[in-house]
Structure formats: structure tokens, C-alpha cells
Amino acid sequence: MPPHQAQVRIEDDVEVEVEGNVVTAKGPLGSLTKDFSKHHVEIEKSDGVLVVKSRVKGKRGKALVGTIAAHLENMMKGVKKGYTYKLKIVYSHFPISVHVDKDKVIVENFRGEKRKRIAKVLEGVEVKVEGDDIVVKGIDINAVSQTAANIELAAKSRGYDPRVFLDGIYVYRKEEGMA
């Protein structure tokens, strides 16, 4: 049974460099570098296409090739368009106060608590608070989505019925583009 492979078309306005299994994508919004050397794949560039070949046979090899191909597509979309996640601040009684301080988001007065809740902002991600919305932007989808998840988890009500106690911060929109 031959190893699996997938082809990823290199988008316009995006330069891709492959050195071993380290891939660098450069576009109008910046550059991203990811190291795929710990995975059992070979990545080659030829004629405007990236070819991902698996060294593993069977369904694991097929899944690995598909995953790496999706990561490469997300890298190219990120450096060309970027990613935006929007979160909504929801409260019923105690008004939640949210502000950004360098590499962290601070949530205050959550359910009337005196303690501040802190969410980590990953490198390369920009966070803005606009009224009852939080906007998370960046070119790396993994960093943007993890930052949004960190903010969501910082304002999570544990031990309460979520149908009654709706207080929290929730992702309500995921978009390509940093408009």
C-alpha cells in the first residue's frame, strides 16, 4: 500500500519556503513559520503546489496528511487575510469589567467577585475591548483561537446551572479577515 499524499495550492500574494519540514509562509500581513519535523511526513514545493507525503501507512498516515495540509492552508490564509474572533460579554446583575494589559486580558467583577480573573494572550495576537464585545485578531489561527478560548475559560461559571447563570464571555463569531 503506497503512502498517502495531499497537494496544497499556494495562494496568490503568498510566498512559501520549505527547508526540510520547516515551512515559512510570507504574505501581505506578515509571516508564519511552523516546524512539522516531529511528524512523519515529507513536505516538498513544486510548481506552485506543496506536496505532503506520509511515511506512515494506513488510516493514521491518511489522517496525518490531511491535518498537515489543513495547517498549511490555514497558514496561507492567515498571512493573506488574517483571522478575527468576536466574543460577547454577557452579565445579568454584576457588570463585568474587561480590559487588556500587555499580554493578558483582565476580567473584573465577574459575578461580584473581588478577585480578578486573568486570561493569557498569545504572541502575535491583538485584543481590543469595544463595549460589550471583545475582538481578537491575528494571522495564526491557532494563536487566535487559543486566546479566545483562554478568555472564555477565564469567565466560566463552574458549579452553576448554565441555563440560569448565563454570566460569562462567549465566542459568537469566527471570521477570515481582519477588517
Domains of the chain: 5-80 (3.90.930.12), 83-176 (3.90.930.12)
Please state, rounded to an integer, the average pLDDT across all residues of the chain: 94
- State pLDDT tens for residues 58-82: 999 999 999 999 999 999 999 999 9
State how beta strands 41-46 and 49-54 pair: antiparallel
Give 145 or 20, the one with higher predicted confidence.
Answer: 145
Mean pLDDT, residues 85-114 taken together: 95
Residue 179 pLDDT greater than 80, yes or no: no
User: Residue 2 has what pLDDT?
Assistant: 56
List Cβ<8 Å contacts ≥24 apart for 16-19. 16/45, 16/50, 16/76, 17/45, 18/43, 18/44, 18/45, 18/50
- State pLDDT tens for residues 19-57: 989 999 999 999 999 999 999 999 999 989 999 999 888
Mean pLDDT, residues 136-152 taken together: 98
- Write out the H or E segment, with its range, that includes residue 101: strand 97-101
Angle, helices 58-80/141-154, rounded to nearest 10 degrees:
90
**Full strand arrangement of the beta sheet holding 117-120:** 97-101, 104-108, 117-120
Backbone angles phi, psi at 159, to 5 degrees: 85, 10
Q: What is the pTM of this model?
A: 0.91
User: Residue 1 has what pLDDT?
Assistant: 45
User: Residue 3 has what pLDDT?
Assistant: 78
Query: What's 14's DSSP letter?
Result: -
Ranges of beta strands (E only) in 29-90 are: 30-35, 41-46, 49-54, 83-90
